[in-house]
Amino acid sequence: MKAGRLKPVAGAELESLASVASRLILAGRLGRVFPDPYLCSDYLRALAPSFHGGAHAGVEVDLGSGLPGMQHLVDVWADCRSAPDFIREMEHRLGLGRSLPPGSAARLSYYRRLVALDLKPLTRVAVALRRVDREAASAFFEVVFDRFDPAEQVFVRHTLMLEQAESGRRGALIDLAGDYSRQTSELRDKLEKFAGDDSEIAFLLMGRLPGVRVEEVVRARIGPLWSEAAPAPEGWREGGCVLHLPVDRASTSLREDRDDDPFSGIYRHFLSEVSRSIVEEEARRLGYRVHKDRKFACEATVADGLRRKLAEAGTRNLIYTV
């Protein structure tokens, strides 16, 4: 679901949206392939009027994702970066016995709450060395790429399992020195270019890079969110809030394709006959298959209706309720 039009949301409606979104994220029982649920929940909680005390006027919700637009989350991170200096300045003023203007006092309370969240940047790349094969002169890495996707306006994590040959060569994605690994600008550039869509496309593109063998790519997302602010599409409307938690995996460990996502499909299956045969041949060469799944976290009042709709779609999906 691509980004759509924007809808202003403020006051009590924003308070309710931020609260239910953060609760649904934490109810989703998200494993390590998903974006950090506590971090994502905290970013949304920070947009609630009761949290920021009027520091922000409101948000614009993306009607495609149901989540606040990326700029609002960037603003929260900017506040987090500037908070320590502001807190020190205001506390120094208070220590001198001077009073604070109402606006500064409210912002001080907001910033104190904000720094207690221990937020991290929206976009992050982490590289972990899994093992080294000295005889084959190659190293195996896990790469985790987190961001708020600017196209879909949802939280997303790509997890890649890679083997890199001659890791010390010029232009390598990952530098390896002893038992330590370090991402390069080349890796960040390739992730930005190739990890903008589903796992199969990222697998195909990364698999063409010289010196790299891809074992697995997993994409997991938090969103979209159906709510009063951004209702479900026709045929799925039951009232209440529903958070989508889709995950797709392209891996050499899978023996067959499987699609349990009623809102998506396997990339190859949407291609023309000629294009599909080409990609199928590439898939056989690279040795991967694809699994797609989607679980949901929703308000209990809409769970039964959602189950009926999923049964009609013929997919098997987990549903968690709050």
Residue in the block written with tokens 């790429």: 145
Q: CA 124, CA 192: separation in Å to the nearest integer?
A: 11
Which residue, among 321, 247, 320, has the nearest Cα to 290 in the 3D structure? Answer: 247
- From 39, 38, 43, select the one nearest 68 (Cα to Cα): 43
Question: Domain boundaries in the chain?
Answer: 6-115, 124-321
Task: For 178-213, write each residue's pLDDT tens digit.
Answer: 666 778 888 899 999 998 889 999 999 998 888 899
Lowest mean pLDDT among 12-16, 113-117, 126-130, 289-293: 126-130
Structure tokens at 166: 């001659």
The residue length of the chain stands at: 322
Tokens of 110: 């907001």
pLDDT at 124 over 90: yes
Residues 62, 247: Cα–Cα separation, whole Å:
21
The whole-number pLDDT of residue 170 equals 59
11-40 pLDDT, tens digit each = 999 999 999 999 999 999 999 999 999 999
Helix, strand, coil shares of the chain as percentages rounded to 5? Answer: 35, 25, 35
Instruction: State whether residue 20 is helix, strand or coil.
Output: helix
pLDDT digits (tens, 9 = 90+) for 61-82: 999 999 999 999 999 999 999 9
pLDDT cut 90: percent of the chain above it: 78
Residues 143-178 as b/e (b if ≥16 CB within 10 A, e otherwise) read bbbbbbbeebbbbbbbbbbbbbeebeeeebbbbbee
In the chain, the N- to C-terminal Cα span, in Å, equals 24
pTM, entire model = 0.93
